[in-house]
Structure 1
């Protein structure tokens, strides 16, 4: 609750921006992401330093929104292992539901030749978010064939669910966006884990070079971390999986969470 209150207070100082204006930044569908685990006090200072450039997404007076993502993988964690092994052609498959509005999309996230993230979306029925429909399979096959010249792996099925609260900050003049996530919960078919760090998971999304927020975070001595919500969630929910690249992030989430790290 301390983290949520601090985030709400900091964002109250920013001007609002509409969803239409945020969506107009379509170029950020191809982007470079930098991720940071930012302590609450540092996050407040970050927002203070960005207030003259950034606005916060506001819909019907609300500035923090609930998200749910269902990730798909094979029973042997084939897509997870692609990322673990840093394969050149790797991808994630998920549905994302905006729980406040009920809107849903099917998403394919590809890694580009220059390490940029390429995200493609297909409108999806929220009632289907826990399964792959035939149109979703066709969409996935088309994206992989176009980008990599390969087909999807066999046996994709729901692997785990992530939920969290997100606020979105944007500087439309510089094509820079920040997403700020709190209240993370990871779940699979057998258990759930709440990861409630006294920190904010911040993702800087730019067209390439580091942006203003990256510069401020560097000045505040916060360094980027290697993290994927899906991979960290899989490692926490299934400790038998190798997770070398994410050991530090998993440890940071648990330590930052203090008593907030628990199985639900």
Structure 2
């Protein structure tokens, strides 16, 4: 895969700032590394690859928090439209870390607020003030519940109207029960484009029969590593599909 990425023209972080997706729509797809290699061969003439100091497939590390009653997981499990997630994300290549709150409203739009941090200590005044402003749950009710490590490729189309993130080598560690899950060849793709502007990658995805597929890393990782404390009924069909992709 890294050899394939070498054939792409690079784009820097500064150059990517011009890709302002003001009317953004997000669509997720799930596949495996075999299909991904085919997709990367097809897309190399139409897309740049993000390059950070020579790295084109850098590591990301994420720790999700939830309440002690797992309210945020439950909101998603039962299909509530207004829901939130909170996470600490570390960009391993630079060491930068952010605390992020994602809020999805009943119109399907997701808003992300974040601040740069240096640790996950929630007693710090700046973090508490940020959470009191952006999170609908009490700060003192939060606990770390899931860690997720993965590699991410970022492609930008040459029309500068969309970004494509491609996550591979996903590994989940449940911080409440010690269970782990290596997702092997599973690949999670997210297309972020400017409204309904033409997308070259959509045609390629259809050719490869890679269909849209919702995938929340927090919820899927929790469901895959859960014991009896978490309900997984709503995710059973997705879990079956994911396990089929892993075994292909």
TM tier, smaller:
0.7 to 0.9
Which of 120, 130, 133 matches 1:142?
133
What is the total number of aligned residue pairs between the two structures? 244
d(CA) in 1 for partners of 2:20, 2:101: 16
What is the root-mean-square deviation of aligned Cα atoms in Å? 2.4
Aligned position for 1:233: 221
Asked if 1:92 corresponds to 2:92, the answer is no
Which of 16, 30, 40 matches 1:22?
16
TM-score by length of structure 1 reads: 0.82
Structure 1: tracts of 5 or more residues without a match = 1-6, 145-150, 260-264
**After the TM superposition, which of the residue ranges 135-144 and 69-78 deviates more from structure 2?**
135-144
Matches within 5 A, 1:165-180: 165-171=151-157, 173-180=159-166
For residue 112 of structure 1, report the CA deviation from its aligned partner.
Answer: 3.4
For residue 176 of structure 1, report the CA deviation from its aligned partner.
Answer: 0.8
Decide whether the 8 Å contact of 1:131 with 1:158 is kept in 2: no
Structure 2: tracts of 5 or more residues without a match = none
Aligned position for 1:262: none
d(CA) in 2 for partners of 1:84, 1:247: 11
Aligned position for 2:5: 11
Structure showing the higher helix proportion among its residues: 1
Matches within 5 A, 1:117-128: 117-125=110-118, 128=119
For residue 157 of structure 1, report the CA deviation from its aligned partner.
Answer: 1.5
Structure 1 residues 39 and 188, CA gap change in structure 2 (3 angstroms)? closer
Which of 189, 202, 207 matches 1:202?
189
Which of 54, 63, 78 matches 2:71?
78
Structure 1 residues 23 and 195, CA gap change in structure 2 (3 angstroms)? farther
Which of 189, 203, 206 matches 1:218?
206
